Amino acid sequence: MAGKQSMNDCPVCCMECIDACLACIKSMSANSKFSKAYAAICAEICDWCAEQCGAHSHEHCQICAASCKACADECRKIAA
């Protein structure tokens, strides 16, 4: 959806979600004392992306939404 017209933030949320996930992974790999905070913000961004992509009927958007929901659930476990 990148570069395409949309009724919501779907074209941009995936890139932001990827960046958040990478930052979270890097913090965990480095045993950062901020890993829980990264996981919490990652969950929030993944929830947002799932909502945006889930609003579309495209198969790739639905797959993205499901992946983001799963990631958000796991990140919330880490953030707890």
What pLDDT, in 10s, does the model give residues 9-56? 677 888 899 999 999 999 999 999 999 999 999 999 999 999 999 998
pTM: 0.86
**4: pLDDT confidence band, cut at 50, 70 and 90?**
low
Distances (CA, A) of 5 to 1, 2, 80: 8, 9, 37
Residue at token pair 């993205």: 64
